[in-house]
Structure 1
Amino acid sequence: MVIPVHDVMPVRTTPYVTYALIAANVLVFLFMPGLSGSVAGDSGLAQLCHLQAFLDHYAAVPRELIHHQLPRLVPTGQVAFDPQRGPGCLVGPPGYVKSPVLSVFTAMFLHGSWLHLLGNMLFLLIFGNNIEDRLGHVRYALFYVVCGYAAAYGYALANSDSTAPLIGASGAIAGVLGAYLVLYPRVRVWILVPFLLFLPLRLPAWAVLGFWFGLQAVYSSGAALSHAGTVAYAAHVVGFVAGMLLAWPLRPGTPPPPEPGGILFGRRARPGW
């Protein structure tokens, strides 16, 4: 695994959409039920039932996306006690109307943990600003959403009977990475490689993003679920390919940018370094 830190690629405009997406994802995560328990290390049954009900309402579920079949009984967020099975989450008829199509959009702003959130936002911050600079604010926002939908439905087609909630911005961000690979393959990217401690390296984007995509493709050939402890790698693959295809027509108009001189690990080097 590699950790991107900075790309040697200036932008001409302020990436307002990228900043807004990051802020929205962080704010939604802070108000998700069960967050206080996850931070404190307490995963009480009441919090888990509340979170399960929240995800059932706002997360994308592959079976609902493909078959348009909403469950008749859903978690209510309350705790129930069964004399034989013990305590569990109470289920009942849904007290809301859910649109499977709209759930793909809401699911793009939900994350399962701080690590899930921060990892996604790091990739979006580093690579999203340049794609927004190339596409413009409005087209970039539409591009982001389209890639997220492509990733979700691509995963759902391959797992049409799955009832596990699909959450996270990974599919949309994978589309951003795919577009970056097409438009700026030779731009240098600083990464940290966990070797003993962390080894800083500066590699071309095609190597960094190609390696990332290769890992997702390998992992997607195995278990690729989206519930706790697992990752929807197939959604990453679909989102990445969608981003490449959408960005490909723009490639002739995107010459290789001049690399700023005197750059050392994302900062301008001092004389003599």
Structure 2
Amino acid sequence: MFPIRDHNPSRRPALVTYTLIGLNIAVFLAMWPSYSNEAAISGIYMEWAMIPVRLSSGEGFHTVITSMFMHGGFMHIAGNMLFLWIFGDNLEDEMGHVKFLGFYLMSGIAAAFAQYIVFPSSWIPMVGASGAIAGVMGGYLLLFPRAKVDVLFIFIIFFKVIPFPAWIMLGLWFALQLFGGFGTGGDGGVAYLAHIGGFIAGVILAIPEWRRLGGKEYWALTHGHPPHTQARYKFQQSRIPVVKRRK
């Protein structure tokens, strides 16, 4: 189950969102030759990934930023960039380019420190843009709780796309992070605490923008939907003729 698009078109080009996607892909491609060399990739992680114990010793604070642009594999970056592409453009559309960039980076920093506070002695490197993107999702939830998001469900041998209100899709995602972070102790190779911290930070950081738009009056005006015409998608009809069953 994962989202593939929303019905919330942007009114202007999302330059920062596309630039962030491009930077993440560029860093991933630059690291690609090292993934097959354990010594090389370990050296890169030791220098540029966020390792909590390094912060505890008073060094490596630059990694709070650099780790946001590193990923552990193809599926890792593909999933993160998909979420950023779906939800980032709308926040950038409302906030403006510069404000959105600051919002994104602050969400990522908050996510990193949420993971650090719980595991300050950990030697496990943390990489990925998911903490910052979780912040984007939190801000999206505050501004567009009822925007439609198409979610692809794959059931072994068939699939179906179902549109959900953003608050259901994002709420379910957040609940899964809570379960992963607290139900399993957060020890499964996924930085659930960073996701939780980034999401909460995103909601808090988006409050000034929500108030600028009118706060509760904005919600009353839009009913939680985007403040403009939503996109409508139509799936291509099958050319296979339908044969009715005989009585």
Q: Same fold (TM over 0.5)?
A: yes
How far did 1:155 drift? 0.5
Distance 1:218 1:177 in 2: 18
- SS of 2:11's equivalent? coil
Q: Which amino acid aligns with 1:195?
A: F
Q: What is aligned with 1:251? A: 210
The 5 Å alignment of 1:138-217 reads 138-196=98-156, 197-217=158-178
Q: CA deviation at 1:67?
A: 3.7
Q: How much does 1:201 deviate?
A: 0.1
Q: TM-score, normalised by structure 1?
A: 0.77
1:264 matched to 2:234? The reply is: yes
1:3 corresponds to which letter in structure 2?
A: F
**Aligned equivalent of 1:28:** 27
Alignment partners' CA distance in 2, 1:264 and 1:208: 21
Equivalent AA in structure 1 for residue 186 of structure 2: A
Count, aligned residues: 223
Whole-Å separation in 1 of the counterparts to 2:46 and 2:190: 18
1:240 paired to 2:239: no
Unaligned segments of structure 1, at least 5 residues = 69-98, 268-273
Higher strand proportion? 1
Partners of 1:251 and 1:195 in 2: CA distance: 38
C-alpha distance after superposition, 1:200-259 (max 9, x if no partner) = 10010000100001001110012435xxx7210110000000000111232241543244
The answer on whether the counterparts of 1:189 and 1:208 sit within 8 Å (CA) in structure 2 is yes
RMSD over aligned Cα atoms: 1.8
Q: Please give the TM-score of this superposition, normalised by the length of structure 2.
A: 0.85
Q: Could you say what secondary structure the match of 1:264 adopts?
A: coil
- AA of the residue aligned to 1:232: A
* Structure 2 letter corresponding to 1:4: P
Cα deviation, 1:142-192, whole Å, max 9, x if unaligned, reads 100000000001110000110111110010000000000000001001110
Once the two structures are aligned, what percentage of the paired residues are identical? 41
The 1-side partners of 2:185 and 2:73 are apart by: 20
**Cα offset, 1:11, TM superposition:** 1.1
Query: Does the C-alpha gap of structure 1 residues 261 and 5 become closer, same or farther in structure 2, counting only changes over 3 Å?
Result: closer
